[in-house]
Amino acid sequence: MSVLLSPIKDVHSERRLFLARVILAIVVSLLLMGTVVARLVHLQVIDHELFAEKSQGNRVRIEPVPPIRGLVFDRKGRVIAENLPAYQLELIPEQVDDLDDTLQRLAAINLIEFEDIQRFKDLSHSGPRFKPVTLKFRLTEEEIANFAIQRPRFPGVDFRPRLVRHYPDGELVAHAVGYVGALSTEDLQRLDPASYAGTSHTGKTGVEGSFESDLHGDAGYRHLIANARGRQVPSDTSELLDSLPVDQTPAPGANVYLTIDLELQRIAAKALEGRRGALVALDPRNGEILALVSAPAFDPNLFAVGMSTSQYRALSDNPDRPLFNRAVRGAYPPGSTIKPILALAALETNATNLTRKTICHGYFQLPNDDHRYRDWKPEGHGPVDLHDAIAQSCDVYFYELSGEIGIDNMHDYLDRFGLGTKTGVDVGGESSGLVPSREWKKNNFRDRDNQRWYHGETVIASIGQGYMLATPLQLAAAAGALATRGKRYRPHMVAAVEDALTGERRIVQPEHLGDVEISNDFYWENVIGAMHDVMQGPRGTARAVGTGAPYEMAGKSGTAQVVSIAQDEEYDDAELEERQRDHALFISFAPLDDPRIAVALIVENGESGSGVAAPIAKAIMDAYLGFSDDAS
């Protein structure tokens, strides 16, 4: 019996398998090498231009160039806002060994504030370390000299030239023109990032804010050679320079011409110096604002050059509120300044006539009510008609008319003169004021009893008290409408916008609003005649101011009570704290037959509209009409 045995090793089979594997490896290697070669050919030959352009983009950095901000002029071409060269203090974080020590020593020599150190440290860590951080936007000559001596002690800190916004008249134009300030996070969210690339400031308030799009201009850019980390490096060959794209020059902002008269503004500011209050003067024929002052004011240059935390806190915590624009945002009880408008309302609604007389005993009482509504003159005015009630500002006459006019008619006629609604002036931040009505009260109170309108509320509304509020700008516009016998124009502060390169001007045309329609022109003449007698009549409340003037004028005083008093008590302003005394208001216009200026102002806690506010209004009219040594 025999057994068949398999061979232990098949050499021929192994050789065939090995050869097959070698051939497969060679084929795969050739395919992979071919793929690499093909890709290299594609990258270096076919897509050469594409990647050459991308390579150029990696080494060329585009740096934005901010535009030069447009200038602001007054109506006579005098500069109100300009750009001046200045030096700013900068720190480059990567060149500073000990950031905290450097900032501490800069604060020790009064170049920065100690309380701002943490803010600067945060800024230093928020971006590339080779990017400079601005520590101070404007250095004085003394600060430059002081730092120049000690510069070797501060590696990585230096100053460089730049343009900064400057307001030659400072506080004088703060609330009219506004100011520019450093860009905030909120600003960056609402503004176009491309247009504001490289820009550090933007208009915040006033004309600077409202006409920001005109004043700012368009940003440009330039191309720089940079390394892989984004840092600029010198380009030392002409070939490299020639290969750079063409830079784009920034377009400067437009120049803005205002309707403001700088000299009139100066006189108004001086008249309110040391007081809290506001004044607006405008041309009733077209709505041009001639002067707009809010006192006290602030220096807008502080915002333009960057203020310290302590400086801003001093402004914001000041009880006199210098940052608050009282002229367009301050809402005050208008007091008796609304009596001429209510007189027209009474005539139009037949609540009274030109001959009806009332005996003023110094107070008024509603039927079956013991409460006395007092006249400003305790002993009363005696018999008065509508003309006398305006000229002498008799409260009792209007108390008695109030029920016959009614609060809704009051609202209607005051609304026709623009009270209780924003004027639409071309600077932002305006308050609407308030003229109450039955509907208003119903919609603004939850309690049913408070939603009811009471007769007593109509009584006090007839002398501009209670819920009623108006801004000085609204009162000036209303005075302008009285001056023109009902023709109304929207108040505006910008007269023209000028292209800085071509000089072409875009003129801002007056906007005519709806006229106040009164059925009988004689009503206008009677009411305006009574306003004339306020200042130049024998018994007018402001006759001491207007008598003997070389031109005819009209006005109406007002006093707004700040604190209430008990029924049977009287108070003397001298016994009250200064901030509890009555506000003094006045509206006026001149010349009487061809009005060219209308003025409204309030002096907070000024006590007397005719004694304190009226002389200021007359001084403004004197200056503008050329009857004053201060007139320009």
> CB of 179 within 8 A of CB of 206?
yes
Looking at the chain, the whole-number percentage of residues with pLDDT higher than 70 is 87
Among positive and negative, which fits the CA dihedral 489, 327, 434, 347? negative
User: Is the pLDDT at 573 greater than 90, yes or no?
Assistant: no
pLDDT of residue 304: 85
**Residues annotated catalytic, as ranges:** 336
Mean pLDDT of 248-264: 92
pLDDT of residue 326: 95
Between residues 140 and 366, which one has the greater pLDDT?
Answer: 366
Looking at the chain, the whole-number percentage of residues with pLDDT higher than 90 is 54
Between residues 193 and 208, which one has the greater pLDDT?
Answer: 208
Q: Using H for helix, E for strand and C for coil, what is the string for 610-623?
A: HHHHHHHHHHHHHH
Task: Name the DSSP letter for residue 247.
Answer: P
Length of the chain: 632
**Sequence-ordered list of residues with C-beta below 8 angstroms from that of 93, at least 6 positions apart, any chain:** 99, 124, 125, 129, 130, 131, 133, 156
pLDDT of residue 407: 95
Q: Angle formed by the axes of helices 395-405 and 339-348, to 10°?
A: 40
**Sequence-ordered list of residues with C-beta below 8 angstroms from that of 106, at least 6 positions apart, any chain:** 89, 112, 135, 154, 157
pLDDT in tens, 381-434: 999 999 999 999 999 999 999 999 999 999 999 999 999 999 999 988 899 999
Pick from 36-45, 285-294, 565-574, 617-626: least confident: 565-574
Give Cα 389 distance to the centre of its chain: 39
**Sequence-ordered list of residues with C-beta below 8 angstroms from that of 9, at least 6 positions apart, any chain:** none
Domains and CATH numbers, the chain: 325-488+514-612 (3.40.710.10)
pLDDT in tens, 533-572: 999 999 999 999 988 899 999 999 998 876 554 444 454 5
